């Protein structure tokens, strides 16, 4: 099924109560104000408006029921892609009202459009931050997309799945193979090659009708004692999988063929509460890390038995998510129920204090965290406060640079003094954010899922790894 996808949220900033409903070029112009999340409050009659100049690309779509988890599928369209339009493949698991209504969605989004914008906008002669020509071209582009001429399209196929999907992951080496955690307590492995091949061969024009739904048996399944969320494929050993459940049990899956696995019934035990997330080491094939509701994180080596090789207090509340930096393998990031983010240097574990960065910007639970696959110092975070934030740990406060930037942009709003200088970007507009992923083949692209659907975004100030020819 092909659907048109919204270009961006069309929220308007309304006049404050008591002001005229129409604007006049003869009257004084009200300056645009930057809304600071957690600081400012919306007045009655006001709504937030997205600033398109902050993005190289921004699109929204949904596939029906909300998806708690999804994964970007590695494709054969190019290892590093920078030119618009883009095509992206996904797989996601639904959270339907009834167990029998759930499915794994395999979908392809084509014609993801956008344009390169300057991190420092042009302001001469235009208070909006764009000159007249650029503003006109933006309007033309929006009109074309709304008419469907250049709008992204979504093609979707579904595989029936009993129960809600808590988390889903595509195998790095064989991306058509995915593992899905169900709220029924089963972890199941699926071969979705037929659906991905069909999407790759299909044309977007003229596709009509309802999304195709297929009944398909999984390749393999394993029953935990309880449901869970923690799951990860090894980036080094094809087919090696690890899964953790809410009964604090962790199981390592060893492939015995292309379609079967050996799962030792004796679990790895070290946490005293639910295992929330798990990550294989990017450099050591037998090592993985886990985090738990018990507030700890642990490092495991499968060659040394079924107890942690190291365990440490990570946060003062539940540790919800973690990410192992694949470009700087000594760095481990984690996010907690209290909204805090911690970065640890694993080389310092034996010395006691391994925390190299700690942020308390978010005030609600962290729901997803992931290091950039292209910049070792950058990571993205989502929170229950409906914010997706991007951080660059290499940034430091520079007053001279700030003054120069304000002079160029004629910025009238000062950033709060307690805003961390490492906070690079804030994305809003989604409700109840659940998970995000960077696209490993399209530098600067992030995809996020929430209760109200998916966003594809490319912030304009994240372009250090992009070519200048876009």
- The count of residues in the chain is 470
Residue given tokens 């294989």 in the structure block: 280
What pLDDT does residue 44 have? 81
What pLDDT does residue 126 have? 46
Q: Is the separation of the CB atoms in 439 and 445 below 8 Å? A: yes
Q: Which residues of 385-421 are buried (b: 16+ CB within 10 A; e: fewer)?
A: bbbbbbbbbeeeeeeeeeeeeeeeeeeeeeeeeeebe
d(C-alpha 378, C-alpha 185), whole Å? 34
Q: Which two tokens stand for residue 23?
A: 């604007």
The structure's pTM equals 0.85
What pLDDT does residue 42 have? 74
Residue 347, φ and ψ in degrees, nearest 5:
-70, -15
**Could you tell me the CA-to-CA distances from 64 to 156, 158, 168, 328 in Å, in that order?**
11, 11, 17, 38
CA atoms within 13 A on the CB side of 101: 8
What pLDDT does residue 224 have? 97
Q: Is the separation of the CB atoms in 395 and 420 below 8 Å? A: no
CA atoms within 13 A on the CB side of 350: 2
Label each residue of the chain as H, E or C.
CEEECECCCCCCCCCCCCCCCCCCCCCCCCCCCCCCCCCCCCCCCCCCCCCHHHEEEEEEECCCCCEEEEEEECCCCCCCCCCCCEEEEEEEEECCCCHHHCEEEEEEEEEECCCCCCCCCCCCCCCCCCCHHHHHHHHHHHHHHHCCCCCCEEEEEEEECCCCEEEEEECCCCCCEEEEEECCCEEEEEECHHHHHHHHHCCCCCCCCCCEEECCCCCEEEECCCCEEEEEECCCCCCCEEEEECCCEEEEEEECCCCCEEECCCCEECCCCCEEEEEECCCCCCEEEEEECCCEEEEEEHHHCCCCCEEEECCCCCEEEEEECCCCCCEEEEEECCCCEEEEEHHHHHHCCCEEEEECCCCCCEEEEEECCCCCCEEEEEECCCCEEEEECCCCCCHHHHHHHHHHHCCCCCCCCCCCCCEEEEECCCCCEEEEEECCCCCCCEEEEECCEEEEEEECCCCCCCCCCC
| Rounded to 5°, angle at Cα 206 from 202 and 208 | 90
d(C-alpha 319, C-alpha 64), whole Å? 30
Question: Who contacts 231 (Cβ-Cβ below 8 Å, separation ≥6)?
Answer: 167, 169, 179, 181, 187, 241, 242, 243, 244, 278
d(C-alpha 463, C-alpha 181), whole Å? 35
Q: Which two tokens stand for residue 422?
A: 């490492």
Per-residue pLDDT of the chain (470 residues; tens, 9 = 90+): 333 343 333 333 333 333 333 333 344 445 556 666 666 777 787 777 888 889 999 999 999 999 999 999 999 999 999 999 999 999 999 999 999 999 999 999 999 999 887 766 555 544 443 344 444 444 444 444 443 447 899 999 999 999 999 999 999 999 999 999 999 999 999 999 999 999 999 876 544 445 789 999 999 999 999 999 999 999 999 999 999 999 999 999 999 998 999 999 999 999 999 999 999 999 999 999 999 999 999 999 999 999 999 999 999 999 999 999 999 999 999 999 999 999 999 999 988 889 999 999 999 999 999 999 999 999 999 999 999 999 999 987 666 666 666 666 665 555 566 689 999 999 999 999 999 999 999 999 999 999 999 999 999 988 654 433 33
């Amino acid at each position: 099924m092909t659907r048109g996808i919204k270009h961006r949220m069309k929220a308007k900033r309304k006049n404050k109560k008591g002001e005229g409903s129409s604007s006049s070029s003869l009257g004084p112009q009200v300056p645009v104000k930057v809304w600071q999340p957690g600081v400012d409050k919306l007045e009655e009659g006001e709504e937030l408006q997205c600033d398109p100049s902050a993005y190289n690309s921004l699109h929204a779509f949904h596939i029906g029921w909300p998806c708690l988890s999804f994964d970007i599928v590695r494709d054969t369209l190019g290892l590093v892609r920078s030119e618009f339009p883009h095509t992206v493949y996904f797989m996601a698991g639904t959270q339907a009202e009834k167990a029998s209504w759930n499915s794994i969605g395999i979908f392809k989004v084509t014609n993801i459009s956008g344009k390169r914008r300057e991190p420092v906008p042009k302001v001469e002669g235009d208070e909006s931050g764009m000159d007249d020509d650029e503003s006109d071209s933006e309007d033309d582009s929006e009109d074309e997309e709304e008419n469907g001429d250049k709008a992204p399209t979504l093609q979707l196929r579904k595989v029936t799945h009993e129960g809600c999907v808590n988390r889903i992951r595509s195998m790095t080496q064989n991306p058509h193979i995915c593992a899905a955690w169900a709220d029924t307590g089963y972890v199941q492995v699926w071969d979705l090659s037929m659906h991905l091949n069909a999407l790759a061969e299909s044309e977007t024009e003229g596709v009509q009708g309802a999304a195709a739904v297929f009944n398909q048996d999984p390749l393999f399944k394993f029953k935990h004692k309880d449901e869970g969320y923690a799951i990860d494929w090894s980036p080094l050993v094809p087919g090696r999988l690890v899964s953790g459940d809410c009964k604090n049990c962790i199981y390592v899956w060893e492939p015995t063929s292309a379609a079967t696995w050996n799962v030792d019934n004796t679990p790895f035990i070290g946490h005293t509460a639910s295992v929330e997330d798990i990550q294989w080491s990017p450099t050591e094939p037998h090592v993985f890390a886990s985090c738990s509701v018990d507030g700890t994180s642990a490092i495991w080596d499968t060659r040394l038995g079924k107890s942690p090789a190291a365990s440490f207090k990570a946060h003062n509340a539940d540790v919800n998510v973690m990410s192992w930096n694949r470009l700087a393998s000594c760095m481990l990031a984690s996010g907690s129920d209290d909204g805090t983010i911690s970065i640890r240097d694993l080389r310092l574990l034996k010395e006691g204090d391994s925390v190299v960065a700690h942020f308390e910007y978010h005030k609600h639970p962290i729901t997803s965290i992931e290091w950039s696959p292209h910049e070792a110092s950058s990571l993205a975070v989502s929170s229950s406060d409906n914010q997706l934030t991007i951080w660059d740990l290499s940034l430091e406060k520079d007053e001279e640079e700030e003054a120069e930037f304000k002079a160029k942009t004629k910025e009238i709003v000062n950033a709060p003094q307690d805003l961390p200088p490492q906070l690079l970007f804030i994305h809003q507009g989604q409700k109840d954010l659940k998970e995000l992923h960077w696209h490993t083949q399209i530098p600067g692209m992030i995809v996020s899922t929430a209760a109200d659907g998916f966003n594809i975004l490319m912030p304009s100030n994240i372009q250090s790894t992009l070519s200048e020819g876009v």
